[in-house]
Structure 1
Amino acid sequence: MSEFKALLVSETEGQYQSEVVNRKIDDLPPGEVLIRVRYSSLNYKDALSASGNKGVTRNFPHTPGIDAAGVVEASSVGDFTAGDEVIVTGYDLGMNTSGGFGQYIRVPADWVLRRPQGLSLRDSMVLGTAGLTAALCIDKLEHAGLAPGQGPVLVTGATGGVGSIAVAMLSTKGYEVAASTGKALQADFLRKLGANQIVDRSTLESGKDKVLLKDQWAGAVDTVGGDILFNVVKSLRYGASVACCGMTAGGQFNASVFPFILRNVNLLGIDSVEQPLVVKASMWDLLSVQWKTDLHNLEREISLDQLPAEIDKILAGKMVGRIVVNLG
């Protein structure tokens, strides 16, 4: 096949349009591994790319999609051969390299992982970057001392991709989970994922002018950033930690040293994009075996043609859970 279908985002006088078009394999960037993509997933970063955010994607036309799972079509290196089932998440995929919203990608071999044995290609994209990020958050919290039975663990932005998977994963591992959201109608959704209590987002937005708040949380996964993140820091129990992995509420917050020196708390940064491949592989092993979590309550499958409408929804803050893209 010399042509394939892909979502292409183009720019005309500062306006960005998305449409499904036919592209040529010869138009793909150089790389050692050509992959026929079977599944991808929709992430907030993909929506930013599709809407022309230059901090994510500099040059257009462009095919977003920071996640891809599929079958090796051709490889110029011995590590992979035609027919191997593989996944690619992060690095430059879907940012400035044609991504998983196309039926083919061509990427460097050191971006590619073999499909984890405990997951199908589709299962791996229900998780995708969101699942990898959630796992990195929980792993780092546990290395900092978090364990089940210590008290409630807060998850902010709990209806989003990372948040919903974190709620389900923490519950499966035996934690008491407090899920924070601004979507009151999604309380039942979060309880089905395993949340023990629902925290209205407005509760976490109050008290910005205080240097400390009531110590409530044994740990936290924060996906939103901004002043909510620092209010979470101010609400941690003595010695507890929060893993920070998102900034939908803003990239800045008003901070003070008091929580850190009076309650001995930790603010842990999480990046899933540029992690060494060996670290990603270890996380995927956890996700496929020891930490395997039933995610059927939070995922929905769409086609490539349905992507533009779903991108509009995620930009409007209306997406819940995970969207799997079937590239057919």
Structure 2
Amino acid sequence: MFRAVLIEKDEQGYRAKVAELPESRLPEGDVVVDVEYSTLNYKDGLAITGKGPVVRSFPMVPGIDFAGVVRSSSDPAFAPGDRVVLNGWGVGEQHWGGLAQQAKVKGDWLIKLPASMPSRRAMIIGTAGYTAMLCIMALERHGIRPGSGDVLVTGAGGGVGSIAIMLLKKLGFRVVASTGRPEERPYLEALGAAEIIDRASLSEPGKPLQKERWIAAVDSVGSHTLANVCASTKADGAVAACGMAQGLDLHASVAPFILRGVALFGINSVTPPKAERVEAWDRLASLLTASDLEQTALDIGLNEVVASAARLMSGQVRGRTVVDVNK
């Protein structure tokens, strides 16, 4: 038996609860993992509260990422005792996910954790931090360097934003952070933000081409915010888009792209090639220390997940929510 957050939908409605389940109910897969830590991401919040059509089949165990130890494997790439991490691959949406004490998944979805990365630290980073690293790697491939100019981070108080600020600061960039919570200024400055701007300046419809303000941006917000971010990006700059907190829509102009040569990169953190996943986690392990990450972490147990998901969706959570599935 193992404990898990279980989402059910039937004639009685949509509900999420912690349940005790037999191992025989685990889905198909070739690697069984004893999960140690998972996280609570925005997508998990949508799934647990039912505020977004995230879950594709029911019942579902949410949790789009996890870190733990291999219990058994029929995949030759993994052996019992291997420490592994998973991000994405439809886990928590189409396939039972990480907010559970056990998970059974395809070996292709896993990578081994860097030797220096404990499971809890990996989940302070989680899919949010992993996505932030993928964004920065995309900007670097475009030629963005610390001397190129400021880098904007939207949704700065969230999981992606918090880790993005930290990583960019570590790499030598001057970071501008956009937030709707002015009380978070000390937190964002401690992470490495040199300048704080009000998200209201970006969140409404704006002009198609605006004053050049930053050379690059990491955007987890989407909608009007992303359009304004692009419109304010300097010539030959780049924007990495990875989220939709404001919305999936994008009412933008082609002007920044054809008049300034701005590049817009969509970041796929769900199914990137294995080599890219390994590179991202290796760089995260080398750049972020335990002391760096603790200031972003909120630890909860499995029984607190459902209530915490509601707080997350109402904007009451900052940084990274780490779930000890054995508590």
Bin for the TM-score computed over the shorter chain: over 0.9
- Letter of the structure 2 residue corresponding to residue 292 of structure 1: L
- Is 2:222–2:241's contact at 8 Å kept on the other side of the alignment? yes
Note the 1:1-328 alignment, pairs <5 A. 3-13=1-11, 15-52=13-50, 55-206=53-204, 208-289=205-286, 291-293=287-289, 294-328=292-326
- Letter of the structure 1 residue corresponding to residue 44 of structure 2: D
1:208-229 Cα distance to aligned partner (Å, 9 max, x none):
3422111000110001000110
DSSP-derived class of the 2:45 partner: helix
- Distance between the aligned counterparts of 1:254 and 1:273, measured in 2? 25
- Distance between the aligned counterparts of 1:80 and 1:254, measured in 2? 45
- Distance between the aligned counterparts of 1:129 and 1:281, measured in 2? 13
DSSP-derived class of the 2:86 partner: strand
- Distance between the aligned counterparts of 1:199 and 1:124, measured in 2? 30
Residues 318/105 of structure 1: CA separation in 2 closer, same or farther (3 Å cut):
same
- Distance between the aligned counterparts of 1:242 and 1:14, measured in 2? 44
Q: CA deviation at 1:52?
A: 3.0
- Distance between the aligned counterparts of 1:209 and 1:318, measured in 2? 28
- Distance between the aligned counterparts of 1:150 and 1:308, measured in 2? 43
- Is 1:159–1:186's contact at 8 Å kept on the other side of the alignment? yes
- Distance between the aligned counterparts of 1:23 and 1:74, measured in 2? 19
1:175-227 Cα distance to aligned partner (Å, 9 max, x none):
10000011111111111101001110011135x34221110001100010001
% identical equivalent positions: 43
- Is 2:57–2:93's contact at 8 Å kept on the other side of the alignment? no
DSSP-derived class of the 1:139 partner: helix
Q: What TM-score does the superposition give when structure 2 sets the normalisation length?
A: 0.96
Q: CA deviation at 1:239?
A: 0.8
DSSP-derived class of the 1:110 partner: helix
- Is 1:134–1:166's contact at 8 Å kept on the other side of the alignment? yes
- Distance between the aligned counterparts of 1:240 and 1:54, measured in 2? 33
- Is 1:16–1:50's contact at 8 Å kept on the other side of the alignment? no
- Unaligned 5+ segments in structure 2 are none
Q: CA deviation at 1:12?
A: 4.0
Of 272-281 and 45-54, the range deviating more from structure 2: 45-54
- Is 1:64–1:100's contact at 8 Å kept on the other side of the alignment? yes
- Letter of the structure 1 residue corresponding to residue 9 of structure 2: E
1:293-326 Cα distance to aligned partner (Å, 9 max, x none):
5211111111001111110011112110001100
Q: What TM-score does the superposition give when structure 1 sets the normalisation length?
A: 0.95
- Distance between the aligned counterparts of 2:66 and 2:151, measured in 1? 31
- Distance between the aligned counterparts of 1:235 and 1:150, measured in 2? 15
Q: CA deviation at 1:152?
A: 1.4
1:241-266 Cα distance to aligned partner (Å, 9 max, x none):
11000011111122222111211111
- Unaligned 5+ segments in structure 1 are none
DSSP-derived class of the 2:214 partner: coil
1:38-81 Cα distance to aligned partner (Å, 9 max, x none):
00011011111112366321222211001111111111122211
Computed over aligned residues only, the root mean square deviation of the Cα atoms, in angstroms, reads: 1.3
